[in-house]
């Protein structure tokens, strides 16, 4: 009986989450317009379109040992790469991953950065273990690329002010401060002598890594153009290479030294009246740490997909007794259902949907569900993930439109190279239904001819290695390396 009502709730959700191609095209156009507005003037759009000060991406000639630090979500990574110059490329790569204790995500700036500096110091301590690699080579200071994936107003290649927190972080005293200074002070407190050569975010790191490692693109003339990078992980964001003369707000500063500049879009803040927003999204937003902010991120990224599913299940239980007469108490706990769990249920191909049954039991303490109930849960996961994936594809189309790469351009006899978008993040990497939906949607939107020239490429762990690569291309010792 109750289940009739539950199916009705699901049907309504599906309708509200629908993303026909026509709507996606409108969203792509809106994205392109907002990009333009954000580039025109400071505050010209919800899209910040931040100037990154990265105007030279790694070329492949970089040489030496460099460190990367990647902070941007639940885990942070520290890595060390040894670059061998032209032909050597990445000679050696080591890394360590540490999860950030939840209390530090809402504590003080000193607490967070002390923890990071401590772990970093431990990792640096392992340098040269095994073989005698460049310990402080010739008295050179170690250099670090710092990937910090929160909205930062960059003031130079290695300084920037934190504008606000996202993704569940909330450390009031850090907002408005230079995050490189905060890290440098913590490193000093820990006796770690290291210079931050570049401050970037994960999208820019991924873009740098994508460019550097641009291999396996089977183009006749050896490689496509890596024009943009997208992150689909805990949060979502994108960066791309823009012509300086298309950035009026930067040209006004009168300091442009290069023809191109990497723009950090902060596309998580994108909003448009065309976005399919439901009552569940609105409630999630209202109860979040940053209400009204990052609307796009909240319907797409890994931090939120599980929570949206939970909210719908909760309503189905409360209003239609979807799980019986008693509403399962666990179902009322915000964020108890994670996106990896949604993904596991979505991919369940066992005949009796065992995975769904087990997740419902283990996570939500809901036992003895009928096959029909489990099917409905999968349908729900599919609705929420498909909306996120298709909207991500539309947003990528927006960038391609901005760059004029949504169509085939023939200059004389030369055809344009393959356009490559480097993508990384746990959601893209592990949620295959999501990834597949994103890729097929982009193909649909571009059409056959163009989509054969556009490649979505997984840049695995690009944000960490990219940071180290950018430390190398912005090294203070560059002049003596060559
Ligand atoms: P971050 O974005 O925090 O830097 P990652 O790129 O590793 O880290 O992404 C982690 C996020 O990816 C998780 O928060 C989760 O939402 C998502 N994720 C991880 N594994 C899976 C999975 N198996 N299925 C779906 N999403 C996943
Ligand atoms: Mg990351």
CATH number at residue 77: 3.30.420.40
Q: What is the mean pLDDT of the chain?
A: 91
Q: Which of 70, 114, 178, 202 is catalytic?
A: 202
476 vs 103: which has the higher pLDDT: 103
221 Cβ neighbours under 8 A, 6+ residues apart: 417
Neighbour-count burial for 102-138, b at 16+ CB within 10 Å, e otherwise: eebbebebebbbbbbbbbbbebbeeeeeeeeeeeeee
Co-location of 142 and 247 in the same domain: no
Co-location of 44 and 68 in the same domain: no
Catalytic site residue 202? yes
Answer with the one of 171, 200, 229 that is the final residue of a domain.
200
Residue with CA closest to ligand 1 atom 7: 426
- What is the SS3 string spanning the chain? CHHHHHHHHHHHHHHHCCCCHHHHHHHHHHHHHHHHHHHHCCCCCCCCCEECCCCCCCCCCCEEEEEEEEECCCEEEEEEEEEEHHHHCEEEEEEEEEECCHHHHHCCHHHHHHHHHHHHHHHHCCCCCCCCCCCCHHHCCEEEEEEECCCEEEEECCEEEECCCCCCCCCHHHCCCEHHHHHHHHHHHCCCCEEEEEEECHHHHHHHHHHHCCCCCCCCCCCCEEEEEEEECCCEEEEEEEEHHHCHHHHCCCCCCCCEEEEECCHHHCCCCCCCCCHHHHHHHHCCCCCCCCCCHHHHCHHHHHHHHHHHHHHHHHHHCCCCCCCCHHHHCCCCCCHHHHHHHHCCCCCCCHHHHHHHHHHHCCCCCCHHHHHHHHHHHHHHHHHHHHHHHHHHHHHHHHCCCCCCCEECCEECCCEEEEEECHHHHHCHHHHHHHHHHHHHHHHHHHHCCEEEEECCCHHHHHHHHHHHHCCCCHHHHC
Q: What is the rounded distance in angstroms from the CA atom of residue 300 to the CA atom of residue 387?
A: 8
User: pLDDT grade, residue 131 (50/70/90)?
Assistant: very low
- As a whole number, mean pLDDT of residues 432-448 equals 98
Where does residue 196 rank: exposed (0-12), middle (13-18), buried (19+ CB within 10 A)? buried
Closest CA to 180 of 197, 168, 164: 197
Evaluate if residue 52 carries a pLDDT over 90.
yes
Evaluate if residue 181 carries a pLDDT over 70.
yes
Neighbour-count burial for 444-464, b at 16+ CB within 10 Å, e otherwise: ebbeeebbebbbbbebebbbb
User: pLDDT grade, residue 137 (50/70/90)?
Assistant: low
Catalytic site residue 405? no
Q: Which of 45, 52, 70, 77 is catalytic?
A: 77
300 vs 415: which has the higher pLDDT: 300
* Residues within a 6 A CB radius of ligand 1: 72-74, 233-234, 302-303, 339-340, 343, 425-427, 430-431
Evaluate if residue 408 carries a pLDDT over 90.
no
- As a whole number, mean pLDDT of residues 184-212 equals 95
Closest CA to 472 of 193, 123, 113, 91: 91
Which structural domain, as residue segments, surrounds residue 121?
A: 63-200
User: pLDDT grade, residue 229 (50/70/90)?
Assistant: very high
Evaluate if residue 31 carries a pLDDT over 70.
yes
Co-location of 354 and 441 in the same domain: yes
Q: What is the rounded distance in angstroms from the CA atom of residue 69 to the CA atom of residue 120?
A: 8
Co-location of 222 and 264 in the same domain: yes
Residue 363 to residues 310, 315, 331, 358: CA-CA distances in angstroms?
11, 17, 9, 8
Evaluate if residue 222 carries a pLDDT over 70.
no
Co-location of 133 and 222 in the same domain: no
Residue 100 to residues 79, 307, 357: CA-CA distances in angstroms?
16, 21, 31
Residue 18 included in any domain: yes
Tell me the CA–centroid distance for residue 429 and ligand 1, in Å: 8
Percent of the chain past pLDDT 90, that is, above it, reads: 79
Co-location of 258 and 379 in the same domain: yes
pLDDT at 219: 47
Q: What is the rounded distance in angstroms from the CA atom of residue 270 to the CA atom of residue 297?
A: 8
Evaluate if residue 220 carries a pLDDT over 60.
no
- Summarize pLDDT for 140-159 with one digit per residue, the tens: 789 999 999 998 999 999 99
Evaluate if residue 138 carries a pLDDT over 80.
no
Co-location of 395 and 446 in the same domain: yes
- As a whole number, mean pLDDT of residues 285-302 equals 95
- Count of CB atoms within 10 A of residue 396's CB? 27
Q: Check: CB of residue 239 under 8 Å from CB of residue 43.
A: no
219 vs 85: which has the higher pLDDT: 85
Q: Greatest CA separation found in the chain? A: 77
| Ligand positioned closest to the Cα atom of 168 | 1
Q: What is the rounded distance in angstroms from the CA atom of residue 88 to the CA atom of residue 103?
A: 42
Residue 232 included in any domain: yes
User: pLDDT grade, residue 256 (50/70/90)?
Assistant: low
pLDDT at 61: 85
Q: Which of 45, 109, 149, 463 is catalytic?
A: 149
139 Cβ neighbours under 8 A, 6+ residues apart: none
Co-location of 398 and 313 in the same domain: yes
Residue with CA closest to ligand 1 atom 24: 340
Pocket test for ligand 1, best of 99, 237, 302 (most atoms within 8 A of CB): 302
Q: What is the rounded distance in angstroms from the CA atom of residue 463 to the CA atom of residue 207?
A: 8
Evaluate if residue 230 carries a pLDDT over 90.
yes
Evaluate if residue 194 carries a pLDDT over 90.
yes
Evaluate if residue 130 carries a pLDDT over 70.
no
pLDDT at 6: 96
pLDDT at 367: 93
CATH number at residue 281: 3.40.367.20
Co-location of 180 and 306 in the same domain: no
Residue 211 included in any domain: no
Least confident range from 33-47, 120-134, 199-213, 253-267: namely 120-134
User: pLDDT grade, residue 133 (50/70/90)?
Assistant: very low
Evaluate if residue 406 carries a pLDDT over 50.
yes
127 vs 138: which has the higher pLDDT: 127
221 vs 346: which has the higher pLDDT: 346
Co-location of 139 and 278 in the same domain: no
Tell me the CA–centroid distance for residue 75 and ligand 1, in Å: 10
pLDDT at 417: 84
Residue 374 included in any domain: yes
Question: Of all atoms in ligand 1, which is nearest to the CA of residue 425?
Answer: 6
Catalytic site residue 55? no
Pocket test for ligand 1, best of 102, 147, 233 (most atoms within 8 A of CB): 233
pLDDT at 123: 96
- Count of CB atoms within 10 A of residue 86's CB? 10
Q: Check: CB of residue 67 under 8 Å from CB of residue 133.
A: no
- Summarize pLDDT for 325-339 with one digit per residue, the tens: 999 999 999 999 999
- Count of CB atoms within 10 A of residue 395's CB? 23
User: pLDDT grade, residue 216 (50/70/90)?
Assistant: very low
Co-location of 26 and 85 in the same domain: no
- Count of CB atoms within 10 A of residue 367's CB? 11
452 vs 88: which has the higher pLDDT: 452
Q: Does the CA dihedral 57-60-64-68 come out positive or negative?
A: positive
Residue 209 included in any domain: no
Residue 227 included in any domain: yes
Residue with CA closest to ligand 1 atom 16: 302
Residue 207 included in any domain: no
pLDDT at 56: 81
Look at the pTM and tell me if it is higher than 0.85.
yes
Look at the chain and report how many structural domains it folds into: 2
Co-location of 126 and 237 in the same domain: no
- As a whole number, mean pLDDT of residues 420-440 equals 97
Tell me the CA–centroid distance for residue 236 and ligand 2, in Å: 9
Residue 471 included in any domain: no
């Amino acid at each position: 009986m109750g289940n009739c009502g539950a199916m009705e709730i699901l049907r309504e959700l599906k309708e509200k989450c629908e993303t026909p191609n026509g709507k996606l095209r409108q969203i792509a156009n809106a994205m392109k317009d907002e990009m333009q507005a954000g580039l025109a003037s400071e505050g010209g759009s919800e899209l910040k379109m931040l100037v990154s000060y990265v105007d030279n991406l790694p070329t492949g000639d970089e040489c030496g040992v460099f460190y990367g630090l990647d902070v941007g979500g639940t885990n942070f990574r520290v890595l060390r790469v040894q670059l061998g110059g032209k032909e050597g490329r990445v000679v050696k790569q080591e890394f360590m991953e540490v999860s950030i204790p939840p209390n530090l995500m809402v504590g003080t700036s000193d607490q967070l950065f002390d923890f990071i500096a401590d772990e970093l110091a431990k990792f640096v301590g392992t340098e040269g273990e095994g073989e005698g690699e460049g310990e402080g080579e010739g008295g050179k200071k170690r250099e670090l690329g710092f990937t910090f994936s929160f909205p930062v107003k960059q003031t130079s290649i290695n300084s920037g002010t934190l504008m606000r927190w996202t993704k569940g972080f909330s450390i009031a005293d850090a907002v408005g401060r230079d995050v490189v200074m905060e890290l440098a002070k913590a490193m000093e407190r820990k006796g770690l002598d290291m210079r931050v050569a570049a401050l970037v975010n994960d999208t820019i790191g991924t873009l740098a890594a994508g460019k550097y490692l641009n291999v396996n693109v089977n183009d006749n003339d050896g490689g496509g153009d890596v024009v943009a990078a997208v992150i689909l992980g805990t949060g979502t964001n994108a960066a791309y290479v823009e012509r300086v003369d298309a950035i009026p707000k930067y040209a006004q500063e009168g300091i442009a030294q290069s023809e191109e500049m990497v723009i950090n879009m902060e596309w998580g803040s994108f909003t448009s009246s065309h976005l399919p927003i439901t009552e569940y999204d609105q409630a999630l937003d209202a109860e979040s740490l940053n209400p009204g902010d990052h609307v796009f991120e909240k319907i797409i990224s890994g931090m939120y997909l599980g929570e949206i599913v939970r909210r719908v299940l909760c309503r189905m239980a409360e209003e239609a007794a979807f799980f019986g007469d008693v509403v399962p108490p666990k179902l009322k706990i915000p964020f108890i259902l994670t996106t990896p769990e949604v993904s596991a249920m979505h991919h369940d191909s066992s005949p009796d949907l065992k995975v769904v049954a087990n997740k419902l039991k283990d996570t939500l303490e809901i036992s003895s569900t009928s096959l029909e109930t489990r099917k409905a849960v999968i349908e729900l996961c599919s609705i929420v993930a498909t909306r996120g994936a298709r909207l991500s594809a539309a947003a990528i189309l927006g960038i391609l439109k901005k760059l004029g790469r949504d169509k085939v351009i023939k200059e004389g006899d030369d055809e344009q190279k393959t356009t490559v978008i480097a993508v990384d993040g746990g959601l893209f990497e592990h949620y295959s239904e999501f990834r597949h939906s994103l890729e097929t949607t982009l193909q649909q939107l571009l059409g056959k001819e163009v989509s054969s020239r556009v490649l979505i490429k997984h840049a695995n762990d690009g944000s960490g290695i990219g940071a180290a690569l950018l430390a190398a291309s912005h090294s203070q010792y560059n002049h003596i390396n060559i």
